[in-house]
Chain A
Amino acid sequence: MSDTAGNVSHLEHHFSDVEQQRESAKLGVWLFLLTEILLFGGLFCFYSVYRAWNPDIFHNAHQYLNVYLGALNTIVLITSSVTMALAIRSMQLDRKRNTLILLGATLFLASMFLVIKYFEYSHKIHLGQLPGKYYTFTGVEGTNPHIFFSVYFLMTGLHGIHVMAGMGLIGWLMVKTQRNRFSSEYYTPIEMTGLYWHLVDLIWIFLFPLFYLIG
Chain B
Amino acid sequence: MSSNSPHPHVLPLGIYLKIGMVLIVLTVVTVIAAQQDFGEFNLLIAMLIAGVKATLVALFFMHLKYDNKLYSILFLISLICLAVFISLILFDTMRRDDLNPIRGGHVNPTIEMYNNKEINPAETELSPATLPDSTKEAAKTTEH
Contact = CB atoms under 8 A, between A and B. Distances in A.
A38 B53 CA distance: 20
Interface in A1-21: 1, 3-4, 7, 17-19
Contact of A30 (B61, B75, B113): B75
What size tier do the contact residues of chain A reach? Answer: 35 or more
B81 A38 contact: yes
B57 A202 contact: yes
12 contacts: A26-B71, A30-B75, A33-B78, A42-B85, A71-B27, A144-B113, A198-B57, A205-B57, A208-B27, A213-B46, A215-B43, A215-B46
A19 to B, nearest CB: 5
B89 A82 contact: no
Interface in B1-22: 1-3, 6-11, 13, 16-17, 19-20
Question: Main SS of the interface on chain B?
Answer: helix
A205 B53 contact: yes
B74 A30 contact: yes
- Max chain A Cβ within 10 angstroms of own Cβ: one of B16, B20, B62: B62
A215 B114 CA distance: 28
B78 A34 contact: yes
B117 to A, nearest CB: 12
A132 B11 CA distance: 48
Interface of B: 1-3, 6-11, 13, 16-17, 19-20, 23-24, 27-28, 30-31, 34, 37-38, 42-43, 46-47, 49-50, 53-54, 57-58, 60-62, 67-68, 70-71, 74-75, 77-79, 81-82, 85-86, 89-90, 93-94, 106, 109-114, 116
Nearest to B89: A45
Nearest to A185: B6
Interface string A49-75: 100110000000000000100010011
